[in-house]
Amino acid sequence: MQNRMMITGAGSGLGREIALRWAREGWRLALSDVSEPGLQETLRLVRDAGGDGFVQRCDVRDYSQLTAFAQACEEKLGGIDIIVNNAGVASGGFFSELSLEDWDWQIAINLMGVVKGCKAFLPLLEKSRGKIINIASMAALMQGPAMSNYNVAKAGVVALSESLLIELAQQEIGVHVVCPSFFQTNLLDSFRGPTPAMKAQVGKLLESSPISAAEIADYIYEQVAQGQFMILPHEQGRMAWAIKQKNPQLLYDEMTVMADKMRAKARQNPS
């Protein structure tokens, strides 16, 4: 019976909403996060929604913690049917301002965390002929200004997912990659960047989103059921991606204008 799902970054935001969406279908959930209180709250909500499961604190930078989590899934659930590599952090700043430590931190969590999650759980997915859902971002496709390390990490998640889609087809393991635009989330809690002004600008984008994390989780559920590989939950995101595929230069020009505006704003508010 295929009803066992693992989610990283399940203590809040989109990870929690994905857990609740599948919980409503009666799934058993293996929930991990670095925040213990967040995990406990998600588990409580999952049980209220009709699901069940267990929690295990896990830092996706540490492969041994992910393999221990996979082992716990085998022991407690008898295996796993879907893995959701969702854990992620936000960062921003122009390339000249970002330190190499900023790059290492971003790549370690947002890209290598997904690589390690796929690697640790692959033996279980081979047994169940399960599915991988990797959470990337529209940043992977659009490369907005002043977030090069985030763009690169998320683009890596898309490239990894495309690679796995092809390589794992013979084993009948499904692969999906989700590229949401900005949505209301607590991503800013983990935000790392050189200037407070940049954090404020990202905050405004998150608040102005027309779509909630719960709606994104609904959309993911529908698209996975239909077998869609690349899942773009935002209508504006789908439109922007269509434009970029037809006329990339148009998007680059738009982003250049946006970068100029951001620099001008940063000069006005240097704090």
**pLDDT values of the chain reduced to their tens digit, one per residue, 271 residues:** 579 999 999 999 999 999 999 999 999 999 999 999 999 999 999 999 999 999 999 999 999 999 999 999 999 999 999 999 999 998 889 999 999 999 999 999 999 999 999 999 999 999 999 999 999 999 999 988 999 999 999 999 999 999 999 999 999 999 999 999 864 444 445 445 555 655 555 545 545 557 889 999 999 999 999 999 999 999 888 888 888 899 999 888 888 988 998 899 888 876 5
**What integer pLDDT is reported at residue 185 of this predicted model?**
44
Q: What is the largest CA-CA distance in the chain?
A: 59
Distance CA 177, CA 102 (A): 24
3-state secondary structure the chain: CCCEEEECCCCCHHHHHHHHHHHCCCCEEEEEECCHHHHHHHHHHHHHCCCEEEEEECCCCCHHHHHHHHHHHHHHHCCCCEEEECCCCCECECCCCCCHHHHHHHHHHHHHHHHHHHHHHHHHHHHHCCEEEEECCCHHHHCCCCEHHHHHHHHHHHHHHHHHHHHCCCCCCEEEEECCCCCCCCHHHHCECCCHHHHHHHHHHHHCCCCCHHHHHHHHHHHHHCCCCEECCCHHHHHHHHHHHHCHHHHHHHHHHHHHHHHHHHHHCCC
Q: How far is CA 105 from the centre of its chain?
A: 16
Q: How far is CA 98 from the centre of its chain?
A: 22
**What integer pLDDT is reported at residue 226 of this predicted model?**
98
Catalytic residue numbers read: 150
Q: Are 57 and 253 in contact (CB under 8 A)?
A: no
| Residue showing tokens 């794992």 | 168
How many other C-beta atoms can be found within 10 angstroms of the C-beta atom of residue 104? 12
Distance CA 15, CA 170 (A): 29
**What integer pLDDT is reported at residue 187 of this predicted model?**
41
CB proximity list for 72: less than 8 A, separation 6 or greater: 30, 54, 56
Task: Flag whether the pTM goes above 0.85.
Answer: yes
